[in-house]
Structure 1
Amino acid sequence: MYNIFSQVIKETVKITLAGQIFFNGSIIDLSKEIVVLFNGKDYIYIPMEHIENVSVDQDEEIIQQPTNFPSVISKDDKNDFSLTYMLNEAIGMYTEIYVANKQPIHGTITQVQSNYFVFHSPIYKTMYIATKHLKWLIPYTENQKPYTLTDDELKVSAKKGILPQHFEHLVHSMRDKLVVVNQGEKPYHIGKISKVHGAIIELQTARTNTTYLNLEHIKTIHES
């Protein structure tokens, strides 16, 4: 797929993601794991595994090539331009990301672990996001800040302690804590983790109803 996409670099394309999400723009960089699209305003970093379709868009107005370099660029060896590399390069940048609930999240990546990353949002505070569920990432332009907040207002307080390397171990460590899963997409995504049975999370909702969540479908989690 990577070699095929290289044939349409700098052409205007339409990219369809899972969930009927569409982007139009010009492919300006790519690797086996990442496609970088420029839509005339932003650089959009899209993990390859979420792309359903790419087509050359003959009807769209030609998008001018960018005059500035993207915030995160690939190395000479495209094999090094992995999703993990991109996330590490984006640490500390103001970014927009999309994971779940049809709502992009704005803030900064603060840490990257084996299969998840830590994201600080002015709205949700500290969030833990399973890397495989990241649909896209858009770095802010140089002078942009989320919600027009100042750097001091957006400052992230360092948390004490060492985080588990793997997302499943992190979720296990949240037993007996109040959490919000997948940005509260469903009513049963908010509650207290009472037990963890392997990949099944037992959650107690506000009215003490018990619900069971499959860890594989937990995209984001943060403490309430």
Structure 2
Amino acid sequence: MEKKHPLQDKWVELLISDHAAPVQGKLIDIGQDIFVIQDGVKYVYVPIIHLQQLRFLQEEPRELFPIPEELKGRPLEQLQDPVSYRKILLSAKGMFSEIYVTGSQSIHGYLTSVMNDFFVFYSPVYHTVIISLQHLKYLVPYHPNITPYQLSPEQFPLRPSTITLARTFEGQLRKLVGEFVILDLGVNPNKIGLLKNVQDNMAELVNANGASIFVHIDHIQTLHIP
């Protein structure tokens, strides 16, 4: 049995990369690459790579409410194979979830596919979003009875992506050469334009002024087609 983290089952605060507000809750499970936090209402899954600081809180935990068992994350001592980032993503497929990657807002929708180093998220706002695994800051699965913005299935049907998927994020970028795309949710206007070329780990994007902008693939967090 692996030794428990000294803060496991304690009330903690996490500071996460690019996320202004800290995440607070009970640290209920730890895998090699993910923390599982129960904040009193929901589970928050935080990839360890984006953890900047973890500290103990003195406050008493709030009452914990039940959530779907398939995403609960059992205690490590009951597992031969600990909870992992990829297992959580695969379990979350088809469930209404909240994710945070970049910018000032999280994204709500459904995770539809998990590939080698990226996943596909379908949102009523952004539609099909390609997201690099290394840039997801947290995932929050919601109760099965909850839908985005209380939209009915007729208003927001869960449709499979019409984009042909590659195995890798770089391969997916290559498949979209020649398309008008938005990188990183369009927070930076220079990351909106025609994807002209992908070569030597760089993506060439032609912006509104016709200038070529080169972005290293490792720094592309999301991609979607408007």
Does TM-score exceed 0.5, indicating one fold? Answer: yes
Over the matched positions of the two proteins, sequence identity in percent amounts to 29
Structure 1 match to 2:116: 114
1:199 to 188, 198, 201: 201
Runs of 4+ in 1 over 6 A off after TM superposition: none
CA deviations over 1:74-117 (Å, ceiling 9, x no partner): 46436442211110100000000000112100000001100000
Corresponding residue number in structure 2 for 1:158: 160
* 1:31-180 correspondence to structure 2 within 5 Å: 31-58=31-58, 60-68=59-67, 70-74=69-73, 76-77=78-79, 79-160=81-162, 162-180=164-182
TM-score by length of 1: 0.91
Counterparts in 2 of 1:67 and 1:179: CA distance versus 1, 3 Å: closer
The residue matched to 2:22 in structure 1 has which SS? strand
Number of residue equivalences: 221
Alpha-carbon distance, 1:11 to partner: 1.6
Give distance in 1, aligned partners of 2:184 and 2:115. 19
2:100 aligned partner, one-letter code: Y
Which position in structure 2 is the counterpart of 1:185?
Answer: 187
Unaligned runs of 5+ in 2: none
Q: Is the 8 A contact 1:8 1:27 kept in 2?
A: yes
CA distance in 1, matches of 2:144, 2:168: 32
- Higher mean displacement: 86-95 or 22-31: 22-31
CA RMSD, aligned part only?
1.9
The 2-side partners of 1:28 and 1:119 are apart by 26
What 5-or-longer segments of structure 1 have no aligned partner?
A: none
User: For the Cα contact (< 8 Å) 1:182–1:218, is it kept in 2?
Assistant: yes
Q: In 2, are the aligned partners of 1:71 and 1:139 still within 8 Å (CA)?
A: no
Q: Is the 8 A contact 1:45 1:136 kept in 2?
A: yes
Residue 12 of structure 2 contacts residue 25 of structure 2 at CA under 8 Å; is this kept in 1?
A: yes
Q: For structure 1, which segment, 44-53 or 91-100, has the greater mean C-alpha deviation from structure 2 after superposition?
A: 44-53
Partner amino acid, structure 2, of 1:123: V
Is 31-40 or 150-159 further displaced after alignment?
A: 150-159
3-state DSSP of counterpart to 1:180? strand
What is the match of residue 17 of structure 2?
18
Q: SS of the counterpart of 1:123?
A: coil
Query: Residue 129 of structure 1 contacts residue 219 of structure 1 at CA under 8 Å; is this kept in 2?
Result: yes
C-alpha deviation, 1:71, in angstroms:
4.4
TM norm structure 2: 0.90
